[in-house]
Structure 1
Amino acid sequence: MKPTLLELKDQFTHLTLAPELGGSIVNWTVRNTGQPLLRHSDAQALNTGLPNKLGCFPLVPWSNRISDGGFDRPDGWLALEPNSLTDPYPIHGSAWQQPWQVMSQTHDEVLLQLDSTTPFAYRARQRFHLSAGKLSIELHVTHLAERAAWHGLGLHPYLPRTAGTQLQAKAGQVWLCDASKLPTRLSSPPADWDFQQLESLPDTLVDNSFSEWDGHCLIRQPDLGYELECRASGSDYYLLYCPVGLAFFCIEPVSHPVNAHHLPGRPGLVLLEHGQSTKLTFSLQYRAYPNN
């Protein structure tokens, strides 16, 4: 069965959502040209029913991978199983694998909600607002279980990549990883991962968490005729994923680094009691940019 799609439009852009597919964004495009601002999702991608084949999906109640089969809560161990055929670890939380409900919709805003019992009870909300070429996303979670648990949030946008794509996203340090893609130590970013200024993306694989981020990034697409100026709050980290030889990359605003549940001090995670909440926001402002 084809998922029900929701649409928002402003004078510059067009947003399509698939609430049933993990509360995902399917496409975000420029209205007068059809230019994708997120990785384009065609009918085949939509028919897979997989949010990670679409434009963007939410990360609740954690981002990326958790090792060791679970994590400690104040009153005991919470066991987790792998939840993806492509990864040996539980990854990206549970919200992306469940259908969300439409709570309200106006001409410029949609509110989605998920009431989940996996891996514990929580309520997640996403608010999408579109105005003057600016897409604003608010991701909010409330802990509903009686036993406290650690929470983290993030968003996983897929962005077009060409030879000319440039990124600016200031970060003080990066977590280096082992062969299993789990972090091992903090380091200053190597030269080709230093995005203090606008730089081209590296030709080699990047799949790492960057810390001491100010929440601002600029994505310039001179080959495609636009740029995105992005701002995040509740997010001191970003994950950068640059696969080799593919026409997309990901810069993910997240509240914590990979495997934070097992890092000293659990950086970026929030311990929520019943009824307590935390949130993350992310905005992407579209601007036309002269083609080369």
Structure 2
Amino acid sequence: MTATAIVSISDALTRLTVAPAIGGSLVAWTRLSDGLDLLRPSPADADAEGPRQLACYPLAPWSNRIANGGFDNPQGWLALSPNSSNDPLPIHGSAWQQAWQVVAHDASSLLLQLDSQVPFAYRAEQRISLEQGRLKIELKVTHLADQPSWHGLGLHPYFPRTGATRLQANAEQVWLCDDGRLPTALSELPTEWNFRQSAQLPSELVDNGFTGWDGRAVITQEDAGYQLELAVTGSEFFLLFCPLDKPFFCIEPVSHPVNAHHLPGRPGLRLLEKGQSCELALSLTYTALKP
């Protein structure tokens, strides 16, 4: 990745690097004392690989998969095409596949903006800041098209995973999925997916949405001597992605379930008129564990 593609901010404890032109993505968040990665480290060739190889990227104007080749708006059907080489369905909106612009930048904060025409006109903003080991990302989308449309938001951070990684997140139910990773039914939490008390991550593949979330979670990395506390506004749902045999996992705060455009009542989606906005914010607070 070329140095000119990167901007950085820092506080007394951590440093963040960002690639605005690669989907407005975070490249790395590291501890200053020793360079430890607090988010998944990005490969050197991330320019070619894109946001899915980086540390975090924004999801707008929806998150995750949409079935049936599109969705209904008040003015009619909006057709969508697959937008990823490894998924047959349109996924994660369009903001992650476009270059963002740096609007403001100082030592500890950054404002990125995207003016998009795909799949309809909208403006997205990310306000990113660091303060005493707390990373905050505020994602806002404003609808700019003349006709209204359904909107949803999310953030897709990747976290390091070891055998000692533990997660605490208080959710009520989980969506079971079909082979295409689309939700089929809400279920009570299986024992191995119940993180109301801090627990190790499952040894099986997990790519599911959880609902009834209070917007808080704690990731404990005891072998690395720290924990991250997540606090989210604008979200009652999260996606948990635990791939097999990979050194990372994802807990993604989202404003709506997977395929919400086709679920009864369109849970979590917002029908925005021109000039109206929706927002989602995530903070990650780093704390060193006592030896």
TM-score tier after normalising by the smaller chain length: over 0.9
Give the distance between the partners of 1:171 and 1:49, measured in 2 at CA. Answer: 33
RMSD: 1.0
Give the distance between the partners of 1:272 and 1:220, measured in 2 at CA. Answer: 38
Give the distance between the partners of 2:39 and 2:217, measured in 1 at CA. Answer: 15
Matched letter for residue 20 of structure 1:
A
Of 242-251 and 281-290, deviating more is 281-290
Q: What is aligned with 1:138?
A: 138
**4+ runs deviating over 4 angstroms:** none
Q: What is aligned with 1:118?
A: 118
The total of aligned residue pairs comes to 290
Deviation at 1:224, TM superposition (A): 1.3
In 1, are the aligned partners of 2:261 and 2:269 still within 8 Å (CA)? yes
Give the distance between the partners of 1:132 and 1:117, measured in 2 at CA. Answer: 37
In 2, are the aligned partners of 1:21 and 1:49 still within 8 Å (CA)? no
Q: What is aligned with 2:215?
A: 215
In 2, are the aligned partners of 1:140 and 1:277 still within 8 Å (CA)? yes
Q: After the TM superposition, which residues 16-95 of structure 1 pair with which residues of structure 2 at under 5 Å, given as runs?
A: 16-44=17-45, 46-95=46-95
Q: What is aligned with 2:8?
A: 7
Give the distance between the partners of 1:248 and 1:49, measured in 2 at CA. Answer: 17
Give the distance between the partners of 2:210 and 2:172, measured in 1 at CA. Answer: 8
Structure 1 spans left out of the alignment, 5+ residues: none
In 1, are the aligned partners of 2:22 and 2:47 still within 8 Å (CA)? no
What SS class does the counterpart of residue 192 from structure 1 fall into? helix
Does 1:265 pair with 2:268? no
What do the CA deviations read for 1:153-209 (whole angstroms, capped 9, x no partner)?
A: 000000000000000011001000001100000011100000001000000010000
Deviation at 1:102, TM superposition (A): 0.4
What do the CA deviations read for 1:120-173 (whole angstroms, capped 9, x no partner)?
A: 000000000101000000000000001110000000000000000000011001
Give the distance between the partners of 2:130 and 2:47, measured in 1 at CA. Answer: 26
Q: What is aligned with 1:228?
A: 228
Q: What is aligned with 1:175?
A: 175
What SS class does the counterpart of residue 223 from structure 2 fall into? coil
Matched letter for residue 19 of structure 1:
P
In 2, are the aligned partners of 1:61 and 1:95 still within 8 Å (CA)? yes
What SS class does the counterpart of residue 43 from structure 1 fall into? coil
In 2, are the aligned partners of 1:64 and 1:258 still within 8 Å (CA)? yes
In 2, are the aligned partners of 1:156 and 1:252 still within 8 Å (CA)? yes
What do the CA deviations read for 1:209-265 (whole angstroms, capped 9, x no partner)?
A: 000000000000001111000100000100000001100000000000000000000
Give the distance between the partners of 1:252 and 1:169, measured in 2 at CA. Answer: 12
Deviation at 1:49, TM superposition (A): 4.4
Give the distance between the partners of 1:282 and 1:47, measured in 2 at CA. Answer: 25
Query: TM-score with structure 1 length normalisation?
Result: 0.98
In 1, are the aligned partners of 2:43 and 2:53 still within 8 Å (CA)? no
Give the distance between the partners of 1:75 and 1:8, measured in 2 at CA. Answer: 43
What SS class does the counterpart of residue 204 from structure 1 fall into? coil
Matched letter for residue 223 of structure 1:
D
Give the distance between the partners of 2:159 and 2:253, measured in 1 at CA. Answer: 13
In 2, are the aligned partners of 1:222 and 1:290 still within 8 Å (CA)? no
Does 1:161 pair with 2:161? yes
Query: TM-score with structure 2 length normalisation?
Result: 0.98
Q: What is aligned with 1:191?
A: 191
Identity percentage of aligned residues: 59
What SS class does the counterpart of residue 287 from structure 2 fall into? strand
Structure 2 spans left out of the alignment, 5+ residues: none
Give the distance between the partners of 1:99 and 1:289, measured in 2 at CA. Answer: 38
Give the distance between the partners of 1:34 and 1:290, measured in 2 at CA. Answer: 19
Deviation at 1:290, TM superposition (A): 4.2
